[in-house]
Amino acid sequence: MPDTPKKIILLDQDIARKNSLKTILSHEGYFVFSFDAIVSCLDNMDLLDADLMILGGMDGGRAIPILNALMAVQCRLPLMFIAEAENLRGDLERHQCEYAAIVDSPFDLAVFRNAVRSALTNGHTPRGMHFASFLIGCCPELSKIKGKLGELGRLNESILITGEPGAGKEAVARAIHGASNRDAACFIKINVPELKAATGFSLLSALACSVPHLAQGGTLADDAKREQWTVYLDEISDLPDHLQAELLLITGADNQGVRILAGTRLDLAELVKAGGFRKDLFYRLNVYQVKVPPLRHRKSDIPLLTVFFSYKFCRDFGKICLPISDRLKAVFMQYHWPGNVGELQDVVKRALQK
């Protein structure tokens, strides 16, 4: 019985090139579904159940918004970009998509055919498809954080993540976890402000409920059952005194299987001076520090984030996603966004719920 032909989605705004590529791929025996707009492509993606997506005529300016849209709808297809610009590979690497296939020209037929076969055979999902850890943005500050993700992901030491409420501290924590190649399920978030009202709460007990080998009676130093877990403590500055002492003991243990990331909206060094936070715990947590910029300092990212959330919530609410108008983007660019990315996400979500 012959193999079922592979299905390929082709996205290219250049009609002539799109038709030529479709002809080439059809002659190779593939089923080809072609689109010239990302919106119509996304609306049909689930129905097509394709094996590969080819994006034609790409440079960074067009590739990154499309990549963000694919992340928003959690597209898990292997991607192949046909580059129009030499810097496309670098742009994709900076946006956590360094494993996508790239070809310089589709009209070197031997190279193009081999690239398509390799993408279909290997089926590598780009690193950017680790959805929980994907960071949206091109601003210099965020690009610098993205450039350090590999290094930060390999660390076992604690990392302190600073930034205003809603700036994206948890997203950065998940990105660091994703860069460590640890299983996505091995990420525990503890919302520290909620602990103030919890009587008899123990951090070690919380970990024991979440980490399998601890729940089975193991220890943080149990080599035989060790897994690579990341614990993110959100707003660590609100941690009660007795839990600060417990956390100091946990971080001082042989805990190579459990790494602590801590987020804070406050300056912990100033809090230590005021007597509101333990100095020894601050030094234990502040081995490495990542500062997340507020949205007003990364306004160039507002259009990307707006489109990302629009695709995401249209998908969640079962609505057809229409392009965001330039006028609306301009209004968003002029606003101060005191609630940062979290506020922008809520605004888009409420608008699409109506």
Across the chain, what does the average pLDDT equal?
81
* Cα angle 140, 146, 151; round to 5: 130
Contact 68, 308 (CB under 8 A): yes
Contact 32, 120 (CB under 8 A): no
Q: Nearest CA to 41 among 83, 72, 82, 4?
A: 72
pLDDT range class, residue 215, cuts 50, 70, 90: very low
Check the CA dihedral 197-198-203-209 and report its sign: negative
pLDDT (tens digit per residue) in 89-140: 777 766 666 567 888 777 788 888 888 988 888 755 544 344 445 788 888 8
pLDDT range class, residue 45, cuts 50, 70, 90: confident
Query: Rounded to an integer, what distance in angstroms lies between the CA atom of residue 181 and that of residue 153?
Result: 8
**CA distances to 110, 155, 226, 227 from 256, in Å:** 48, 10, 8, 9
Read off the pTM: 0.74
Q: Which of 31-35, 73-77, 257-261, 325-329 has the highest mean pLDDT?
A: 31-35
- Please report, rounded to a whole number, the percentage of residues in the chain having pLDDT higher than 90: 31
pLDDT (tens digit per residue) in 141-188: 988 898 888 889 888 889 999 999 999 999 999 989 888 876 666 888
pLDDT range class, residue 49, cuts 50, 70, 90: confident
Residue 320 has pLDDT above 90, yes or no: no
Contact 57, 17 (CB under 8 A): yes
pLDDT (tens digit per residue) in 271-284: 999 999 999 999 99
SS3 of residue 210 by DSSP:
helix
| pLDDT at residue 41 in the model | 83
